């Protein structure tokens, strides 16, 4: 589902950009003898051989950048760790590289040392050998099987991109087709007529989380129900941790501070699920609750002020990012859940939904 992210780390002028260009077969990163030429992470989408497949290759700034902006460049380089599946590290004996290796080890990220003179072919074969195999094979997990009828309820409100479906909807539809299932798509407005037109009960109903309450009240009680966000929680996160985190909602005290963590950056509107609807539902239960939003890479380093973290479905982020944030939350002792599971808990149907 995700492109594997392969990040290239090392001291300044250790050959990171040259290596990235060699792998890509084109000039992706500017190469210069001047230290600090690469300032921000440079990402390149690429298809790699030897079973690696679709990948994101990331060139980073030098770990020992001593320029005026060096500390900020190093900070951004270390942010890349959160989204890294495999790290290629140059000049591993350098003190800055050794410090990085400790951080990669704590995050359980496979490391491939690169020695000058090693061919790209040799390097990529080593990368393929350590490719992580974690994560479920399908977004829909074991909830469906070949031949199943699946109903997808997809609101097309102002949050939906004009003329397009949102990424999780597209991914799930394609996956259902690949698995030999029959997807039947509708909006909440057409759900009742869709139900009336079905000859057999579906194996699963998948809805956008914000329509959970309506869909639950509309479909028969014995039809399995889940949401796109919950499916992503299983594919990219940790269902058990997220469910436990959602249960912490009942323990929130008046004035509690809750972090709404978004993996992407977008311009919100009046129907925004994370910035508007979830905080409103929380405030119905918890007086004076403060909802703080972090978007993109702006995930707080200090999580101690928060009583709960509610993470988005991370449809445009990889599993490494979600799992790094789960790890940080657990280390800080802060419960963490995701949009779909939190909404199900807030609407009193968490026991009703099917988890992948």
State mean pLDDT over 86-113: 93
Q: How far apart are CA 160 and CA 283, in angstroms?
A: 25
**Which of 1-10, 80-89, 154-163, 238-247 is predicted least confidently?**
154-163
Q: Are 198 and 184 in contact (CB under 8 A)?
A: yes
State mean pLDDT over 134-146: 83
State mean pLDDT over 129-147: 84
Sheet of 204-207: strand order equals: 182-186, 149-153, 204-207, 225-227
State mean pLDDT over 285-304: 94
Give residue 29's pLDDT.
Answer: 64
**CATH number for the domain harbouring residue 166:** 3.40.50.11420
Give residue 40's pLDDT.
Answer: 75
| In the predicted structure, residue 244 carries a pLDDT above the cut 60 | yes
Residue 316 in domain: yes
**Which of 39-43, 103-107, 261-265, 324-328 is predicted least confidently?**
39-43
Diameter of the chain measured on Cα atoms: 69
Percent of the chain with pLDDT over 90: 73
| In the predicted structure, residue 161 carries a pLDDT above the cut 90 | no
Give residue 227's pLDDT.
Answer: 97
Residue 117 in domain: yes
Statement to judge: residues 9 and 108 lie in one domain: yes
Place of tokens 């799930």: 172
Q: How many domains does the chain have?
A: 3
Q: Are 294 and 259 in contact (CB under 8 A)?
A: yes
Give residue 26's pLDDT.
Answer: 81
Q: Which one is predicted more confidently, 228 or 71?
A: 228
Statement to judge: residues 8 and 118 lie in one domain: yes
Statement to judge: residues 119 and 14 lie in one domain: yes
State mean pLDDT over 99-117: 92
**Which of 56-70, 88-102, 175-189, 338-352 is predicted least confidently?**
56-70
Domain boundary among 195, 230, 265: 230
Statement to judge: residues 26 and 113 lie in one domain: yes
Residue 319 in domain: yes
Helix residue ranges, H only, the chain: 16-24, 70-79, 95-106, 120-129, 167-178, 191-197, 212-218, 228-236, 239-247, 278-285, 319-332, 339-346
Residue 167 in domain: yes
Helix (H, G, I), strand (E, B) or coil at 69: coil
| In the predicted structure, residue 324 carries a pLDDT above the cut 70 | yes
Statement to judge: residues 273 and 202 lie in one domain: no
Residue 29 in domain: yes
State which residues form the domain around 286: 238-346
Helix residue ranges, H only, 80-164: 95-106, 120-129
Statement to judge: residues 23 and 108 lie in one domain: yes
State mean pLDDT over 329-355: 96
End-to-end CA distance of the chain: 15
Helix (H, G, I), strand (E, B) or coil at 23: helix
Statement to judge: residues 226 and 244 lie in one domain: no
Domain boundary among 230, 260, 291: 230
Domain boundary among 129, 161, 186: 129
Give residue 31's pLDDT.
Answer: 58
Residue 144 in domain: no
Selection from 256, 255, 262 nearest residue 276 by Cα:
262
Residue 138 in domain: no
| In the predicted structure, residue 347 carries a pLDDT above the cut 90 | yes
Q: How far apart are CA 202 and CA 322, in angstroms?
A: 31
| In the predicted structure, residue 57 carries a pLDDT above the cut 70 | yes
| In the predicted structure, residue 265 carries a pLDDT above the cut 90 | no
Residue 355 in domain: no
Give residue 159's pLDDT.
Answer: 65
State mean pLDDT over 80-86: 94
Statement to judge: residues 206 and 243 lie in one domain: no
Statement to judge: residues 207 and 242 lie in one domain: no
């Amino acid at each position: 589902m995700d492109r594997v992210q392969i990040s290239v780390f090392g001291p300044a002028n250790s050959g990171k950009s040259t290596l990235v260009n060699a792998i890509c077969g084109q000039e992706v990163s500017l190469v210069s003898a001047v230290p600090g030429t690469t300032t921000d992470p440079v990402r390149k989408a690429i298809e790699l051989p030897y079973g690696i497949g679709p990948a994101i290759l990331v060139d980073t700034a030098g770990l020992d950048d001593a320029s005026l902006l060096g500390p900020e460049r190093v900070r951004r380089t270390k942010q890349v760790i959160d989204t890294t599946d495999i790290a290629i590290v140059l000049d591993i004996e350098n003190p800055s590289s050794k410090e990085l290796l400790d951080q990669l080890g704590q995050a359980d990220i496979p490391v491939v040392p690169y020695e000058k003179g090693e061919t790209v072919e040799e390097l990529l074969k080593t990368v393929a050998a350590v490719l992580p195999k974690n994560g479920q094979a399908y977004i829909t997990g074991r909830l469906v099987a070949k031949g199943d009828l699946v109903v997808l309820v997809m609101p097309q409100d102002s949050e939906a991109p004009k003329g397009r479906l949102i990424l999780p909807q597209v991914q799930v539809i394609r996956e259902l087709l690949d698995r030999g299932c029959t997807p039947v798509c509708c909006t909440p407005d057409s759900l009742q007529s869709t139900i009336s037109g079905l000859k057999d009960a579906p194996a699963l109903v998948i809805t956008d989380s914000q329509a959970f309450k309506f869909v639950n009240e509309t479909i028969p009680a014995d039809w399995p129900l889940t949401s796109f966000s919950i499916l992503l929680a299983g594919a990219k996160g940790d269902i058990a941790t997220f469910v436990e985190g959602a249960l912490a909602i009942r323990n929130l005290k008046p004035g509690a501070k809750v972090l709404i963590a978004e993996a992407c950056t977008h311009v919100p509107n009046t129907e925004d699920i994370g910035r508007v609807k979830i905080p409103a539902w929380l405030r119905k239960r918890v007086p004076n609750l403060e909802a703080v939003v972090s978007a993109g890479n702006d995930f707080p380093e200090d999580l101690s002020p928060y009583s709960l973290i509610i993470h988005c479905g991370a449809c445009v982020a990889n599993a490494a990012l979600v799992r790094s944030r789960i790890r940080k939350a657990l280390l800080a002792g802060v419960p963490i859940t995701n949009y779909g599971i939190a909404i199900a808990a807030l609407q009193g149907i968490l026991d009703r939904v099917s988890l992948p």
